[in-house]
């Protein structure tokens, strides 16, 4: 049973990172992280705080679209092209199929989110050039350029010589070289000196990334649930609707839950994504993100993720795929 689950998850993961849309979203997100210091340099307030908020927004939105399109590619396209019949004709229970697809999609989302987080940390480390006397952090620019350049060069060689899939290979090597680069930047400052205390890597950004990843788990489970019944366009619409409702859930449902039954139902059915979005802590230094808060958010996200996956399994049990 475990082998079947692992095989489905592995094949799903490989197929997703080979999809052109996966690479397109990844490239677009990394490009936005690259230009974000320039986009935030003309604000009237603290430029670096706006840079952090813009980076976290990019991280969240990019992960949302990765999860939606990955879930659609994993289930909806297989149903529409009838390739799902090949899998289900073997002794594979339907709940194992759904769980395998979910874990495969989650693995792809985690990989993309990891790369985006490193890009976010690099952009924050570089900072905004608010005055004419500010200079570029050449260390960051070289590390980012070398990571992407080496990934492209090695991928091109492997694709030409050994017929490796370009998109998936490039993503994997980008993650590897990005990891080496951020580890290097954690110890080396902008003057190329060993200075771990001056690396400008804040644990706040790592905590914020973890919280957003938990939110993506919930949205990925919801995308799987919608993909079991709807096509790509409807799945996209439903997930975006859930995303927007989740951001305003406390305002729309929470403030009326004590007096209106519909608000109580809405508060239960719609996960509050606002708990994962900690923009208030960016501008208010008194607001601290603790380990206990992350654990409580993790439990909250696990409950909704489990609920959506159970609904996916129940919905898929009687679905005609032939």
Residue 151 inside a domain? The answer is yes
- CA separation, residue 311 to residues 67, 80, 94, 201, 306 (Å): 18, 21, 13, 40, 9
Residue 107 inside a domain? The answer is yes
Residue 312 inside a domain? The answer is yes
Could you tell me how far CA 2 lies from the centroid of its own chain?
26
- Domain span at residue 228 reads 2-317
Per-residue confidence (pLDDT) for residue 80, from 0 to 100: 78
Q: Could you give the CA distance from residue 1 to residue 3 in angstroms, rounded to a whole number? A: 5
Indicate the Cα dihedral angle 221, 222, 227, 230, nearest 10°. 170
Residue 39 inside a domain? The answer is yes
Per-residue confidence (pLDDT) for residue 319, from 0 to 100: 75
Residue 58 inside a domain? The answer is yes
Residue 160 inside a domain? The answer is yes
To the nearest whole percent, how much of the chain has pLDDT over 70? 96
pTM here is 0.93
Per-residue confidence (pLDDT) for residue 132, from 0 to 100: 58
- CA separation, residue 74 to residues 54, 101, 161, 217 (Å): 30, 6, 29, 16
Q: Could you give the 3-state DSSP secondary structure of residue 188? A: strand
Structurally, the chain folds into a number of domains equal to 1
Q: Nearest-5° angle of CA 67, CA 313, CA 300?
A: 60
Per-residue confidence (pLDDT) for residue 251, from 0 to 100: 83
- Which tokens is 23 given? 């690479």
What are the pLDDT digits (tens) for 272-320? 999 999 877 777 766 778 889 999 999 999 999 999 999 999 988 877 7
Count of other CB atoms within 10 angstroms of residue 242: 23
Residue 106 inside a domain? The answer is yes
Residue 322 inside a domain? The answer is no
Q: Compare 263 and 177 and report the one with higher pLDDT.
A: 177
- Which tokens is 65 given? 């679209």
């Amino acid at each position: 049973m475990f082998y079947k689950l692992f095989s489905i998850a592995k094949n799903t993961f490989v197929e997703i990172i080979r999809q052109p849309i996966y690479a397109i979203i990844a490239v677009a997100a990394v490009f936005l992280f690259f230009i974000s210091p320039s986009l935030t340099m003309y604000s009237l307030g603290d430029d670096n705080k706006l840079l952090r908020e813009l980076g976290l927004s990019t991280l969240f939105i990019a992960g949302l679209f990765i999860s939606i399109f990955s879930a659609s590619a994993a289930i909806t396209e297989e149903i529409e092209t009838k390739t799902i019949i090949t899998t289900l004709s073997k002794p594979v229970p339907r709940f194992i199929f759904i769980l395998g697809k979910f874990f495969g999609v989650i693995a792809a989302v985690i990989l993309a989110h990891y790369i985006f987080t490193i890009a976010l940390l690099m952009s924050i480390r570089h900072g905004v050039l608010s005055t004419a006397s500010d200079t570029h952090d050449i260390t960051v620019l070289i590390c980012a350029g070398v990571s992407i350049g080496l990934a492209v060069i090695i991928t091109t060689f492997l694709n030409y010589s050994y017929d490796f899939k370009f998109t998936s290979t490039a993503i994997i090597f980008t993650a590897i070289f990005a990891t080496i680069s951020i580890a290097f930047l954690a110890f080396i400052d902008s003057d190329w000196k060993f200075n771990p205390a001056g690396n400008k890597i804040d644990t706040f950004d790592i905590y914020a990334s973890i919280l957003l990843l938990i939110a993506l788990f919930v949205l990925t489970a919801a995308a799987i649930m919608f993909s079991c019944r709807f096509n790509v366009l409807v799945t996209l619409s439903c997930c975006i609707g859930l995303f927007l409702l989740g951001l305003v859930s406390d305002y729309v449902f929470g403030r009326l839950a004590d007096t209106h039954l519909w608000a109580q139902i809405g508060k239960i059915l719609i996960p509050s994504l606002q708990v994962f979005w900690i923009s208030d802590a960016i501008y208010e230094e008194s607001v601290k993100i603790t380990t206990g808060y992350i654990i409580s958010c993790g439990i909250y996200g696990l409950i909704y993720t489990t609920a959506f996956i159970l609904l996916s399994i129940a919905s898929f049990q009687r679905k005609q795929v032939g």
